[in-house]
A and B are shown apart, each in its own frame.
Chain A
Amino acid sequence: MLKLSNIHKTFNAETVNEKRVFTGLNLELEDGDFVTIIGGNGAGKSTMLNVIAGAFKPDEGSIEIDGIDVTNMPEHKRAAYIGRVFQDPRMGTASDLWVEENMSIADSRGHRRGLRWAITSKDRERYRELLTQLDLGVENRLTTKMGLLSGGQRQAITLLMAAMKKPKLLLLDEHTAALDPKTAAKVLEITDKVIAENKLTTLMVTHNMRDAIDHGNRLIMMSEGKVVVDVKGEDKKKLTVEQLVNMFSAAGGKELSDKAMLSN
């Protein structure tokens, strides 16, 4: 479903701020894989998702989504295949637009936006139904400005928006990190549900080791732009947080962030 081959990426090349993030990153995902990603600060997790989504172009290497070479495809075109949720709840939605307007923008993803009226009463019903499933009481707030909702509500709606058009790939970048533990758990629960219902191939970055083990069918750990640990299936189910920490040091990775160590 996804194939990253020999990705190279350097920021600020040939300046004092030069930062080589990837020097030959490879990763392959099967259809329906739900991969959790952990790794220290600056390991390149967000950059990898950005390269996949097309926000940054790799200096070298190629990206294939479902057999389509998207390496040179601009971000907005690639968006037809990709749904994204960011860490900052403000980033995934337009704050000044209503809930239903945000949803209709996601609903148009992948087809040409023309002079059709954006929200028909049928659309509105469909949006309401989707929102009802969240069980957050947002189904009656279709004409509320997105910016007035809580962070958890916004992330949950962003998730719906990302999954709406059944993308080939769902990219979640610490999408629960800005939420309080209870809300984070709720959003994660919704995440699992949305992924299972739509059978989405997913990459989920998290700083929480426990979550990384409990969710998905495959876990990778990144360090200095490389995949240093890759566990799947039964092995992953049996994994403990302690083992994970040991694996990380064994792989010669730099220290995990304090945040990651503490949050089990």
Chain B
Amino acid sequence: MTPLLNWLGTLPGALTQGLIWGIAAIGIYITFKVLDVADLTVDGSIVTGAAVCAFLLSKDVNIWVAILCAFIAGMLSGLVTGFLHTLLGIPVILAGILSQLMLWSANLLILGGSIIALSRFKYADKVLITAESSAQNINVYITIGILLAFCVVIIALLYWFFGTELGMSLRSTGNNLEMSRAQGINTDFTKVLGLALSNGIVALAGSLLAQQQGAANINMGRGAIVIGLAAVIVGEALCAKATANFAVRLIFVVIGAIVYWLVYQTVIFLGLPSELLKMLSALVVAIFLGAPYLKKKYFANNKKKGGAVNA
């Protein structure tokens, strides 16, 4: 019985992680699915969010102000990527890598080193959430509740935004660039806006992550894009209904992130060496990203064969 109880003990942790990364994945959804670009800025901007939040907390700034500043800092990093892409014509993947590298330096400067630790006792009454029930006045259920509230508010706001004329122009930019321009949409503007919004949300998730982990660490963003993509892909796979509306899709992205962390915790629990975890994540994402391609190829071949028979 003890192993099962121990495993159950990891669930709240997986849920908190899942909700925080679910928010990051919602940000990634905006670039990857809505704008149809892969933005690698996020590995940097999630740390920027964490660093800004931790830095401001250490300066006694109110937590809500700290979170807002993290969001804004994230938007600025997205702006940089957007300008590199639209003004200088750098392919978006490369623009994201360049921003990520710039953010590495910026993050070191903000952190004043490679880490800001939020000692629990000093900050317990300042942060909104925490991972452990060890903190004095926040237990893990309150944490989960607060994170759920964040998810609901963010999804509701995005659902509204993407229903407005401006939001619609972002969606059409990602879907058909030529048509969007022919319909009078300034696609450079919509791309920059989408990248900024996406990274703002990712940085907000970073600020929550710093609180949950009790530290902002220069390395905490490594592979963030892969985790986010995994959540997006798993969410899409679980959301079977093709006609699901935007809000439902985002809910499934969060569910995808939770599933990701459940699997992750379980795999650790079963004793997989932690060195292999990133390898595993990357492989899972590679398989899911490759599946539609293989499926198409397989069906195309079948069709060809069918056609030959008919001819």
Contact = CB atoms under 8 A, between A and B. Distances in A.
A108 B171 contact: no
Nearest to A85: B182
B165 A76 contact: no
A84 B183 CA distance: 9
A220 B71 CA distance: 57
Interface string B181-225: 111111100000000000000000000000000000000000000
Contacts of A74: 186
B168 A118 contact: yes
Contacts of A95: 175-176
A105 interface: yes
Contact of A91 (B161, B164, B178): B178
A76 B184 contact: yes
A29 interface: no
A114 B182 contact: no
A62 to B, nearest CB: 21
Nearest to A104: B168
B184 A97 contact: no
Interface string B152-186: 00000000010111111101100110111111111
Contacts of A115: 161, 164-166
Interface of chain A: mostly helix, strand, loop or mixed? loop
Contacts of A77: 184
Given A80-B184, A110-B184, A93 B179 contact: yes
A94 B178 CA distance: 10
Interface residues of B, number: 23
A116 B167 CA distance: 10
A129 B175 CA distance: 26
A100 B164 CA distance: 13
A96 interface: yes
B164 A118 contact: yes
A79 interface: yes
A238 interface: no
A161 interface: yes
A245 B181 CA distance: 37
B164 A76 contact: no
Interface of B: 161, 163-169, 171-172, 175-176, 178-187, 243
Q: Which 4 A-B pairs have the closest CB atoms?
A: A79-B184, A94-B175, A113-B165, A109-B184
Interface of A: 53, 55, 74-77, 79-80, 82, 84, 86, 90-97, 101-102, 104-106, 108-110, 113-119, 143, 161
16 contacts: A76-B184, A79-B184, A94-B175, A101-B168, A101-B171, A105-B169, A105-B183, A106-B183, A108-B165, A108-B168, A108-B183, A113-B169, A115-B164, A118-B164, A118-B167, A143-B243
